[in-house]
Amino acid sequence: MIVSMIQMIFEIPDVDNIKEKRRIIRSVKDKLQRRFNMSVAEVDLQDSLSFAQIGGALVSNSRSFGESVLHKAFEMIERDIPVRIQDMSIHSEDF
């Protein structure tokens, strides 16, 4: 069993309140869960108004498949979500 994980830190420009930030984060999480069938959570920076850290995981039987899905998820966020990616990492582990 291979678990592929992604971690992203991004800046959300032009956010005026925490409610608006949470709406954007919820939208990102829902899109990743629906489109890529992966588990997603906001893992840090919850108190920051303009930054968020999202973690996601995907279980498969192939390291290359899992990492390719996560790269596609990252590309979707870059293309469709109005955020600025500050950091991103993808990692896979065998269990």
Q: pLDDT tens digits for 40-87?
A: 999 988 888 889 999 999 999 999 999 999 999 999 998 988 888 999
Domains of the chain: 2-94 (3.30.70.1120)
pTM of the model: 0.83
Max Cα–Cα distance, the chain, nearest Å:
43
| Residue 71 parent element (H or E) | helix 63-80
